[in-house]
Amino acid sequence: MACLFCAIVAGDEPAHVVLEDEHVLGFLDVRPVFKGHALLVPRVHVDTLLELPDELTVPLFSAARRTAAAMTSALGAQGTFVAMNNVVSQSVPHLHVHVVPRTKGDGLRGFFWPRTKYEEGEAAAYAERLRQVLVA
């Protein structure tokens, strides 16, 4: 199946481009949370963060950082929300980093992040399970 963001990278689909370099394209999200909301994508097709090669990690997140900085200097944002959906809630299966300009009192709530609590000892158990895989 054709990839929408590959088509944007190729110039076959229109987009309001905000950043372009050798590895990364940045363009406005067509359904912005706030005006200026940008998406940063690797030019090569990568489904999710898990498939992102190390050599593209710095270029992609450097582009996200530069875009976040531009939200302040160019748009007058006070801050940013930087996020990425992987598989779950990911509507376009080409890795993309959302960079959303934020201003205090803008009304954005953590509506999709209902918080939970650890039971006694549970946090240590979760941390240990992750450490077993991450700390070789």
Q: Which residues bind ligand DGP (CB under 6 A)?
A: 4, 15, 27-31, 39, 85, 89-92
Question: 87: alpha, beta or left, given left = phi > 0 and alpha = psi -120 to 50?
Answer: left
Query: Given the complex with ligand DGP, which of 89 and 116 has the nearer CB atom?
Result: 89
For the sheet with 17-20, list strands across it: 17-20, 24-28, 38-42, 97-102, 79-83
Residue 62 or 90: the one with the smaller Cβ distance to ligand DGP is 90
Sequence-distant (≥ 6) Cβ neighbours of residue 126 within 8 angstroms: 118
Q: Minimal distance in Å, beta carbon 19 to ligand DGP?
A: 13
Task: Closer to ligand DGP by CB, 12 or 122: give it.
Answer: 12
Between 85 and 103, CB nearer to ligand DGP: 85
Q: How far apart are CA 21 and CA 41, in angstroms?
A: 11
Instruction: Report the C-alpha gap between 102 and 104 in whole angstroms.
Output: 7
Q: At closest approach, how far in Å is the CB of 126 from ligand DGP?
A: 25
Task: Print burial letters for 19-51: b (CB count within 10 Å at least 16), e (below 16).
Answer: beeebbbbbebeeeebebbbbbbbbeebeeeee
Q: How far is the CB of 8 from ligand DGP (least distance, A)?
A: 6
Query: Smallest distance, Å, CB 28 to ligand DGP?
Result: 6
Min separation Cβ 56 and ligand DGP, Å: 18
Closer residue to ligand DGP, CB minimum distance, 37 or 70: 37
